[in-house]
Structure 1
């Protein structure tokens, strides 16, 4: 199953002539299309959801384009604060509803946009550790993604890497329900007009089994919005 997702993601759907890696080269950085038609311009806006104490992307895109960046993460034990002239942090997570998750404050994307007074978003970055499985459908409902030009995100297809005994084989295939949900989410994104220009496996999500078998459970995907006929 994991092979089929890799095959789909490796077949890029549109060409971006100039791909910029903003932020860390490894985990924490993201690929942005800098082609004239898609690059962020004056008074650009970025929403970055899922920071995990790594602001390298947020700082880099603010410095590169002068964008106003709104950063969100409820898991960092930080209160809302102004990180710089161009980066504002909120201790809020993204969800399919506006109900709290334990002690974490959670909002839908449409709620976040309404609170910030945003209609146009040059780049939306999302890395929410498997919660995209249930959140993407809500994000793409009711025209919430209208005005988002670039959507970069990570999908998580975890594996059943549980060994019951020393001699048992480990099942490294993704759980069927999450695999199917990931495919359904990719279809939603495609049908909304987003086309993949960059995708790769996150090397930090590698599972190894007896040095001969490997699986990646996370894929970083960068898309741009095209005009549908």
Structure 2
């Protein structure tokens, strides 16, 4: 349909309204964002008016966020410790400060998919920018395909999408997006509910990608992530993965009044160690997003927290000194006092 000036005027008004609402929400929930992220949001919203890679807005967005030669800055926080004999409030404080610590600042950090819950951050600074033929693995789709569609629309990556929970059979969503009804687990198995799970090693072996570079791996698998992360670090299977993103859930989901509780000191320390193991195999966090829908007020510290976080990592084995600056930062305070 050919758009006349009245259509463009109406679309512009809608676009401005949506932008104002999102900016207000940004301030309300104090999400991790900056003016550059808001600027990148604007062309994405415009592109939604006509979702096609031939659309000039999409072409402009792709060009802007693929060709910026902005480097990486490594932040040195020093060693961070968390042990069961620390005071309970200190354990909680250190754990959440660790979640919200950015080890690397990506100069060209792009949000694809939803600009809030359901979207994912991708570092486009070299050597991580998505370029055809890029390869993306995505586990946990639900009904939200916006991230996968953006990766396809803007960068023409090959996307392998998996989810055993949505009742869909294997199919091609596009010429480059393939869906399969399998889940990601710590081991290859079939769950009691009939879901077929595979380890990440089994997935990439079956797809013929065992030794192929995977540009981006993301998973949102509703509390199963903890066992999966442990298996990924122990199996030494992430050496060919350039970027890694996942959502953590501090309690099994769905979180209800019946099962909601505060984590024990031991649980905080265990989850801290699982995440810290990623650093041991070369991964550094470049962004995080707390989920405000998982918000709660801590009974230990009285602080407003979230039980759900998206965490975004990059594999530093792919980085050379040409693209890396270094900067010191204060260490996280810690206490060794026991209760």
The alignment's TM-score, normalised by the length of structure 1, stands at 0.88
Aligned position for 1:105: 196
Count of residue correspondences:
222
1:109-162 Cα shifts (integer Å, max 9, x gaps): 000000111121000001111101111121223321121000011111129x88
Report the 3-state secondary structure (helix = DSSP H, G, I; strand = E; otherwise coil) of the residue aligned with 1:145. Answer: coil
Q: 2:208 aligned to 114, 117, 126, which one?
A: 117
Q: CA deviation at 1:177?
A: 4.9
Q: Does structure 1 residue 65 correspond to structure 2 residue 155?
A: yes
Aligned position for 1:224: 314
Report the 3-state secondary structure (helix = DSSP H, G, I; strand = E; otherwise coil) of the residue aligned with 1:121. Answer: coil
**Is the contact between residue 251 and residue 260 of structure 2 (CA under 8 Å) also seen in structure 1?**
no
Q: 1:92 to 1:2 in 2, by over 3 A?
A: farther
Q: Does structure 1 residue 126 correspond to structure 2 residue 215?
A: no
Q: CA deviation at 1:171?
A: 7.6
Larger fraction in strand = 1
1:57-104 Cα shifts (integer Å, max 9, x gaps): 111112121100001111111111111112111111111111101210
| Structure 2 spans left out of the alignment, 5+ residues | 1-90, 321-339
Aligned position for 1:74: 164
Q: Does structure 1 residue 201 correspond to structure 2 residue 290?
A: yes
**Is the contact between residue 155 and residue 182 of structure 1 (CA under 8 Å) also seen in structure 2?**
no
**Is the contact between residue 71 and residue 87 of structure 1 (CA under 8 Å) also seen in structure 2?**
yes
1:13-42 Cα shifts (integer Å, max 9, x gaps): 011001101001121100110102111222
| Structure 1 spans left out of the alignment, 5+ residues | 165-169
Larger fraction in helix = 2
Aligned counterparts of 1:2 and 1:48: Cα–Cα separation in 2: 31
The alignment's TM-score, normalised by the length of structure 2, stands at 0.61
Q: Which has the larger radius of gyration?
A: 2
Aligned counterparts of 2:246 and 2:130: Cα–Cα separation in 1: 17
What is the aligned-residue RMSD (CA, Å)? 2.5
